[in-house]
Amino acid sequence: MAAPVRFVGCPADGQVGPIAAPARPDPKFVLPASLPAGYAVYEAQDLAAVAPVGWTCTERYGSAGSYLLVAPGLSSSAGLSKDAHVTGPAIQVSATSGDTSGRFAVARVIARMFPEHAAFVRQVVAEGIEPAGNFPAGPYPADIITARGPADIAYTTPPGAEGMGTQSWLRRDGDPIEGVAHLSATNDLMEIQLRLPADRRGDGARVIALTRGLNAGFTD
């Protein structure tokens, strides 16, 4: 059943300090005509996500990129540390730049998921800042690749496993993580990692598709 779109503004914090949650939708995020019942659109300054009504949200931003976390009971600062972690339901949307300090994170994902772009990894390693061993090649053994294209990949990290799904604020627990990654022509990386409650798990593909549609970086 479809429902009218509900909007939730998300605060952000990062390189130049805290930014208040927006009071109204930003036109740069093209809202869907409707959402599945019980869902809302969560917007911060850079990124947006679709998630269940009643969750809370925060965004971290800096030279590497922007990272939006939406989860139940999240405090306004819980997602701002790179060492923070979340078990249980959550969605993370990430935009990581390939030409700033974010290039190391982008190169790690390319090494795992986009072997056709291995030249970028070699370029980053050649800088001599991080060793080649920090960029292991090939998917995580437990990950299940569900779709693959030249610039897009979809996967599931199984319950209790380490994988691309846990290379985020989401840590492994007893439920799977669904994820997608999109690599732009300029080696910027967009990612979604999603773990829904068991009674909503069937909504995963729709939630990911709607979240992709909100964020222009997934079409670059």
User: Measuring CA to CA, how many Å separate 68 from each of 39, 87, 135, 164?
Assistant: 17, 16, 24, 17
Per residue in 73-130, pLDDT tens? 887 554 456 667 899 999 999 999 999 999 999 999 999 999 999 999 999 999 999 9
Per residue in 6-35, pLDDT tens? 999 999 999 899 999 999 999 999 999 999
From the CB of residue 203, how many other CB atoms can be counted at a distance below 10 Å? 19
Vertex 204 angle, CA 200 and 206, to 5°: 110
Per residue in 190-218, pLDDT tens? 999 999 999 999 999 999 999 999 998 89
Half-sphere exposure (CA, 13 Å, Cβ side) for 141? Answer: 2
- pLDDT, residue 79, reads 47
- pLDDT, residue 217, reads 86
Helix (H, G, I), strand (E, B) or coil at 159: coil
Rounded to whole angstroms, how far apart are CA atoms 77 and 64?
A: 19
Please provide the average confidence, as pLDDT, over all residues in the chain.
Answer: 94
Read off the amino acid at residue 167. Answer: Q
From the CB of residue 158, how many other CB atoms can be counted at a distance below 10 Å? 15
Per residue in 51-63, pLDDT tens? 999 999 999 999 9
Rounded to whole angstroms, how far apart are CA atoms 104 and 119?
A: 13
Vertex 48 angle, CA 42 and 54, to 5°: 20
Q: Which two tokens stand for residue 37?
A: 């019942």
Rounded to whole angstroms, how far apart are CA atoms 169 and 79?
A: 7
Distance of CA 196 to the CA centre of its chain: 14
- Inter-axis angle of helices 103-113 and 118-126, to 10 degrees? 140
- pLDDT, residue 164, reads 98
Q: For residue 91, what are the β-bridge partners?
A: 70, 194
pTM: 0.94
